[in-house]
Protein backbone atom coordinates (compact mmCIF):
# COMPACT_ATOMS: atom_id res chain seq x y z
CA UNK A 1 0.00 0.00 0.00
CA UNK A 2 1.41 3.38 -1.03
CA UNK A 3 2.33 6.12 1.40
CA UNK A 4 0.36 9.30 0.85
CA UNK A 5 2.30 12.45 0.00
CA UNK A 6 0.82 15.18 2.16
CA UNK A 7 0.97 18.25 -0.07
CA UNK A 8 -0.95 20.32 2.44
CA UNK A 9 1.71 19.80 5.09
CA UNK A 10 4.61 20.41 2.69
CA UNK A 11 2.92 23.55 1.34
CA UNK A 12 2.50 24.86 4.90
CA UNK A 13 6.21 24.25 5.46
CA UNK A 14 7.13 26.16 2.27
CA UNK A 15 4.93 29.09 3.33
CA UNK A 16 6.53 29.09 6.79
CA UNK A 17 10.01 29.19 5.20
CA UNK A 18 8.96 32.10 3.00
CA UNK A 19 7.43 33.92 5.96
CA UNK A 20 10.64 33.60 7.99
CA UNK A 21 12.67 34.98 5.07
CA UNK A 22 10.22 37.85 4.59
CA UNK A 23 10.58 38.83 8.25
CA UNK A 24 14.35 38.85 7.88
CA UNK A 25 14.18 40.83 4.64
CA UNK A 26 11.94 43.43 6.29
CA UNK A 27 14.10 43.73 9.38
CA UNK A 28 17.49 43.76 7.66
CA UNK A 29 16.81 45.41 4.30
CA UNK A 30 13.48 47.20 4.76
CA UNK A 31 12.07 45.32 1.77
CA UNK A 32 8.53 43.95 1.65
CA UNK A 33 7.80 41.68 -1.33
CA UNK A 34 4.73 42.77 -3.30
CA UNK A 35 2.42 40.61 -5.39
CA UNK A 36 -0.34 41.92 -7.65
CA UNK A 37 -2.90 39.53 -9.07
CA UNK A 38 -5.04 40.71 -11.96
CA UNK A 39 -8.37 38.94 -12.27
CA UNK A 40 -10.41 39.86 -15.32
CA UNK A 41 -14.16 39.30 -15.21
CA UNK A 42 -16.14 36.81 -13.20
CA UNK A 43 -14.78 33.30 -13.81
CA UNK A 44 -15.88 31.47 -10.62
CA UNK A 45 -12.84 29.15 -10.45
CA UNK A 46 -10.50 32.12 -10.90
CA UNK A 47 -12.18 33.86 -7.99
CA UNK A 48 -11.42 30.88 -5.73
CA UNK A 49 -7.80 30.62 -6.92
CA UNK A 50 -7.15 34.34 -6.54
CA UNK A 51 -8.67 34.40 -3.06
CA UNK A 52 -6.31 31.56 -2.10
CA UNK A 53 -3.31 33.38 -3.53
CA UNK A 54 -4.17 36.61 -1.73
CA UNK A 55 -4.69 34.80 1.56
CA UNK A 56 -1.32 33.04 1.25
CA UNK A 57 0.42 36.30 0.28
CA UNK A 58 -0.96 38.05 3.36
CA UNK A 59 -0.07 35.10 5.58
CA UNK A 60 3.61 35.18 4.53
CA UNK A 61 3.79 38.94 5.04
CA UNK A 62 3.77 40.24 1.46
CA UNK A 63 2.04 43.37 0.30
CA UNK A 64 -0.67 42.02 -1.93
CA UNK A 65 -3.12 43.64 -4.29
CA UNK A 66 -5.91 42.33 -6.44
CA UNK A 67 -6.96 44.29 -9.50
CA UNK A 68 -10.29 43.28 -10.87
CA UNK A 69 -11.19 44.87 -14.20
CA UNK A 70 -14.49 43.72 -15.70
CA UNK A 71 -14.52 41.51 -18.78
CA UNK A 72 -15.17 44.48 -21.09
CA UNK A 73 -11.55 45.58 -20.67
CA UNK A 74 -9.81 45.78 -24.05
CA UNK A 75 -6.51 44.13 -24.83
CA UNK A 76 -4.80 47.53 -25.04
CA UNK A 77 -6.20 48.56 -21.67
CA UNK A 78 -5.00 45.33 -20.10
CA UNK A 79 -1.57 45.76 -21.71
CA UNK A 80 -1.27 49.24 -20.28
CA UNK A 81 -2.32 47.95 -16.84
CA UNK A 82 0.45 45.33 -17.04
CA UNK A 83 2.88 48.03 -18.16
CA UNK A 84 2.03 50.12 -15.09
CA UNK A 85 2.66 47.13 -12.82
CA UNK A 86 5.92 46.40 -14.65
CA UNK A 87 7.09 49.90 -13.74
CA UNK A 88 5.89 49.89 -10.13
CA UNK A 89 8.87 49.24 -7.83
CA UNK A 90 6.61 48.04 -4.97
CA UNK A 91 5.33 45.20 -7.16
CA UNK A 92 7.78 42.32 -7.49
CA UNK A 93 5.36 39.75 -8.84
CA UNK A 94 2.64 40.24 -11.46
CA UNK A 95 0.20 37.46 -12.09
CA UNK A 96 -2.58 37.69 -14.63
CA UNK A 97 -5.03 34.95 -13.73
CA UNK A 98 -6.01 32.66 -16.61
CA UNK A 99 -8.33 32.07 -18.38
CA UNK A 100 -8.82 35.50 -19.94
CA UNK A 101 -11.93 36.50 -21.91
CA UNK A 102 -11.91 35.31 -25.52
CA UNK A 103 -11.28 38.74 -27.05
CA UNK A 104 -7.93 38.95 -25.26
CA UNK A 105 -4.83 37.19 -26.56
CA UNK A 106 -3.51 35.51 -23.40
CA UNK A 107 -0.09 34.86 -24.93
CA UNK A 108 0.38 38.56 -25.63
CA UNK A 109 -0.52 39.43 -22.06
CA UNK A 110 1.80 36.79 -20.60
CA UNK A 111 4.62 38.04 -22.82
CA UNK A 112 3.98 41.63 -21.72
CA UNK A 113 4.80 40.91 -18.06
CA UNK A 114 8.45 41.70 -17.35
CA UNK A 115 10.20 38.31 -17.11
CA UNK A 116 11.66 39.27 -13.70
CA UNK A 117 8.12 39.83 -12.38
CA UNK A 118 6.61 36.78 -14.07
CA UNK A 119 6.13 34.77 -10.88
CA UNK A 120 3.97 32.23 -12.72
CA UNK A 121 7.01 31.35 -14.84
CA UNK A 122 4.94 31.35 -18.04
CA UNK A 123 6.78 34.06 -20.00
CA UNK A 124 8.49 32.62 -23.10
CA UNK A 125 11.81 34.02 -21.83
CA UNK A 126 11.43 32.09 -18.55
CA UNK A 127 10.30 28.96 -20.41
CA UNK A 128 13.49 29.31 -22.46
CA UNK A 129 15.62 29.80 -19.33
CA UNK A 130 14.22 26.55 -17.92
CA UNK A 131 14.94 24.84 -21.20
CA UNK A 132 18.61 25.94 -21.18
CA UNK A 133 18.99 25.24 -17.46
CA UNK A 134 19.41 28.81 -16.22
CA UNK A 135 17.81 30.24 -13.07
CA UNK A 136 14.50 32.07 -13.60
CA UNK A 137 11.00 31.84 -12.11
CA UNK A 138 9.74 28.29 -12.59
CA UNK A 139 6.09 27.35 -13.28
CA UNK A 140 4.65 26.81 -9.83
CA UNK A 141 2.92 23.43 -10.21
CA UNK A 142 5.89 21.41 -11.53
CA UNK A 143 8.21 23.38 -9.24
CA UNK A 144 6.02 22.26 -6.33
CA UNK A 145 6.15 18.66 -7.52
CA UNK A 146 9.96 18.74 -7.48
CA UNK A 147 9.73 19.89 -3.87
CA UNK A 148 7.34 17.02 -3.04
CA UNK A 149 9.85 14.54 -4.49
CA UNK A 150 12.59 16.11 -2.38
CA UNK A 151 10.41 15.81 0.71
CA UNK A 152 9.95 12.07 0.26
CA UNK A 153 13.68 11.69 -0.38
CA UNK A 154 13.16 10.58 -3.97
CA UNK A 155 16.04 11.27 -6.35
CA UNK A 156 14.86 11.11 -10.00
CA UNK A 157 18.43 10.56 -11.29
CA UNK A 158 18.54 7.51 -13.53
CA UNK A 159 14.83 6.80 -13.07
CA UNK A 160 12.28 6.49 -15.87
CA UNK A 161 9.85 9.37 -15.59
CA UNK A 162 6.63 9.47 -17.59
CA UNK A 163 4.72 12.75 -17.82
CA UNK A 164 1.22 12.49 -19.23
CA UNK A 165 0.20 15.89 -20.68
CA UNK A 166 2.29 18.45 -22.54
CA UNK A 167 0.78 21.80 -21.61
CA UNK A 168 3.07 24.81 -21.32
CA UNK A 169 2.11 25.30 -17.69
CA UNK A 170 2.48 21.75 -16.34
CA UNK A 171 3.53 18.90 -18.65
CA UNK A 172 6.37 20.50 -20.60
CA UNK A 173 8.06 22.33 -17.71
CA UNK A 174 7.62 19.19 -15.58
CA UNK A 175 9.45 17.12 -18.18
CA UNK A 176 12.28 19.70 -18.32
CA UNK A 177 12.63 19.79 -14.53
CA UNK A 178 12.77 16.00 -14.31
CA UNK A 179 15.30 15.95 -17.15
CA UNK A 180 17.39 18.54 -15.31
CA UNK A 181 17.27 16.16 -12.33
CA UNK A 182 18.74 13.43 -14.57
CA UNK A 183 15.62 11.31 -15.05
CA UNK A 184 15.02 9.61 -18.39
CA UNK A 185 11.85 11.38 -19.46
CA UNK A 186 8.96 10.39 -21.72
CA UNK A 187 6.16 12.88 -22.44
CA UNK A 188 2.75 11.48 -23.43
CA UNK A 189 -0.28 13.05 -25.10
CA UNK A 190 -3.41 12.03 -27.00
CA UNK A 191 -1.50 10.00 -29.59
CA UNK A 192 0.56 8.02 -27.06
CA UNK A 193 0.00 4.43 -26.04
CA UNK A 194 -0.60 5.38 -22.43
CA UNK A 195 -0.88 1.92 -20.97
CA UNK A 196 2.47 0.82 -22.42
CA UNK A 197 4.27 4.02 -21.42
CA UNK A 198 2.82 4.21 -17.90
CA UNK A 199 3.85 0.60 -17.26
CA UNK A 200 7.52 1.69 -17.59
CA UNK A 201 7.28 4.63 -15.22
CA UNK A 202 9.31 4.66 -12.01
CA UNK A 203 7.76 8.06 -11.54
CA UNK A 204 4.49 9.03 -13.14
CA UNK A 205 3.14 12.58 -13.37
CA UNK A 206 -0.42 12.79 -14.67
CA UNK A 207 -1.48 16.26 -15.85
CA UNK A 208 -4.31 15.58 -18.24
CA UNK A 209 -7.67 16.81 -16.96
CA UNK A 210 -9.60 13.56 -17.54
CA UNK A 211 -10.87 11.88 -14.36
CA UNK A 212 -9.24 8.49 -13.72
CA UNK A 213 -7.82 8.22 -17.24
CA UNK A 214 -4.78 6.39 -15.85
CA UNK A 215 -5.85 2.99 -14.63
CA UNK A 216 -4.46 1.65 -11.38
CA UNK A 217 -3.47 -1.66 -12.93
CA UNK A 218 -1.14 0.13 -15.41
CA UNK A 219 1.06 1.43 -12.59
CA UNK A 220 4.46 -0.24 -12.19
CA UNK A 221 4.70 -1.76 -8.72
CA UNK A 222 6.67 0.58 -6.47
CA UNK A 223 6.24 3.64 -8.71
CA UNK A 224 5.87 7.17 -7.37
CA UNK A 225 2.57 8.57 -8.62
CA UNK A 226 1.95 12.31 -8.80
CA UNK A 227 -1.57 13.29 -9.79
CA UNK A 228 -1.96 16.89 -10.96
CA UNK A 229 -5.52 16.44 -12.23
CA UNK A 230 -8.27 18.47 -10.59
CA UNK A 231 -11.51 17.33 -12.13
CA UNK A 232 -14.75 18.60 -10.63
CA UNK A 233 -17.31 15.79 -10.65
CA UNK A 234 -21.11 16.26 -10.87
CA UNK A 235 -21.37 15.64 -7.10
CA UNK A 236 -19.02 18.58 -6.53
CA UNK A 237 -16.07 16.42 -5.41
CA UNK A 238 -12.61 16.64 -6.95
CA UNK A 239 -11.11 13.64 -8.73
CA UNK A 240 -7.63 13.17 -10.08
CA UNK A 241 -6.41 11.83 -13.42
CA UNK A 242 -5.34 8.55 -11.81
CA UNK A 243 -7.59 5.79 -10.54
CA UNK A 244 -6.51 6.43 -6.97
CA UNK A 245 -7.92 3.45 -5.05
CA UNK A 246 -6.30 0.88 -7.34
CA UNK A 247 -3.12 2.85 -7.98
CA UNK A 248 -2.38 3.13 -4.29
CA UNK A 249 -2.23 -0.66 -4.02
CA UNK A 250 0.70 -0.69 -6.48
CA UNK A 251 2.54 2.60 -5.95
CA UNK A 252 5.15 3.27 -3.26
CA UNK A 253 4.08 6.92 -2.89
CA UNK A 254 1.02 8.70 -4.25
CA UNK A 255 -0.49 12.18 -4.02
CA UNK A 256 -4.16 12.37 -3.06
CA UNK A 257 -6.63 14.67 -4.84
CA UNK A 258 -7.34 17.03 -3.19
CA UNK A 259 -4.48 17.69 -0.77
CA UNK A 260 -1.55 16.57 -2.92
CA UNK A 261 -0.20 18.79 -5.69
CA UNK A 262 -2.90 21.49 -5.42
CA UNK A 263 -1.66 23.30 -2.28
CA UNK A 264 1.92 23.30 -3.59
CA UNK A 265 1.11 25.57 -6.53
CA UNK A 266 0.25 28.56 -4.34
CA UNK A 267 3.12 27.86 -1.96
CA UNK A 268 5.64 27.94 -4.82
CA UNK A 269 4.07 31.17 -6.08
CA UNK A 270 5.04 32.65 -2.70
CA UNK A 271 8.58 31.32 -3.15
CA UNK A 272 8.83 32.80 -6.67
CA UNK A 273 7.58 36.20 -5.48
CA UNK A 274 10.06 36.24 -2.62
CA UNK A 275 12.91 35.40 -5.03
CA UNK A 276 11.73 38.13 -7.43
CA UNK A 277 11.85 40.66 -4.58
CA UNK A 278 15.29 39.50 -3.42
CA UNK A 279 16.61 39.84 -6.97
CA UNK A 280 15.93 43.61 -6.84
CA UNK A 281 18.38 44.12 -3.95
Contacts with ligand NAP by CB under 6 A lie at 141, 164-167, 169-171, 188-190, 194, 207-210, 213, 228-231, 261-262, 265
Query: Choosing from 6, 97, 239, 241, which is the catalytic residue?
Result: 97
Considering the complex, what minimum distance in angstroms separates the CB of residue 63 from ligand NAP?
24
70 flagged as catalytic: no
53 flagged as catalytic: yes
Contact criterion met (CB below 8 Å) for 116 and 136: no
Considering the complex, what minimum distance in angstroms separates the CB of residue 206 from ligand NAP?
8
CB closer to ligand NAP out of 81 and 169:
169
User: How far is residue 11's CA from residue 15's CA, in Å, rounded to a whole number?
Assistant: 6
DSSP-assigned states of every residue in 77-90: HHHHHHHHHHH-TT
User: How far is residue 58's CA from residue 36's CA, in Å, rounded to a whole number?
Assistant: 12
CB closer to ligand NAP out of 156 and 263:
263
Considering the complex, what minimum distance in angstroms separates the CB of residue 18 from ligand NAP?
17
Considering the complex, what minimum distance in angstroms separates the CB of residue 22 from ligand NAP?
23
CB closer to ligand NAP out of 184 and 231:
231
Q: Which helix (H) or strand (E) holds 76?
A: helix 75-87
User: How far is residue 147's CA from residue 259's CA, in Å, rounded to a whole number?
Assistant: 15
CB closer to ligand NAP out of 102 and 134:
102
Query: Choosing from 120, 202, 227, 241, which is the catalytic residue?
Result: 120
Contact criterion met (CB below 8 Å) for 126 and 136: yes
Query: Choosing from 6, 53, 172, 202, which is the catalytic residue?
Result: 53
Q: Which helix (H) or strand (E) holds 253?
A: strand 253-254
Considering the complex, what minimum distance in angstroms separates the CB of residue 127 from ligand NAP?
14
Contact criterion met (CB below 8 Å) for 203 and 178: yes
Beta strands per DSSP E along 87-227:
93-96, 160-164, 184-188, 203-206, 224-227
CB closer to ligand NAP out of 1 and 233:
233
Active site residues: 53, 97, 120
Amino acid sequence: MAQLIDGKAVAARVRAEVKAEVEKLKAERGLVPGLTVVRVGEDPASKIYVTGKKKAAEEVGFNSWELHPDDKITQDELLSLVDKLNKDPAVHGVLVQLPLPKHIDAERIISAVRPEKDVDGFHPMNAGMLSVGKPAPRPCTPFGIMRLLEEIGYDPAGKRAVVVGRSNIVGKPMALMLLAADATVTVCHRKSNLEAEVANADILVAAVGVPELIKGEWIKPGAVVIDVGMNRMPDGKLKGDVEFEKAKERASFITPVPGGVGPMTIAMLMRNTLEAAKATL
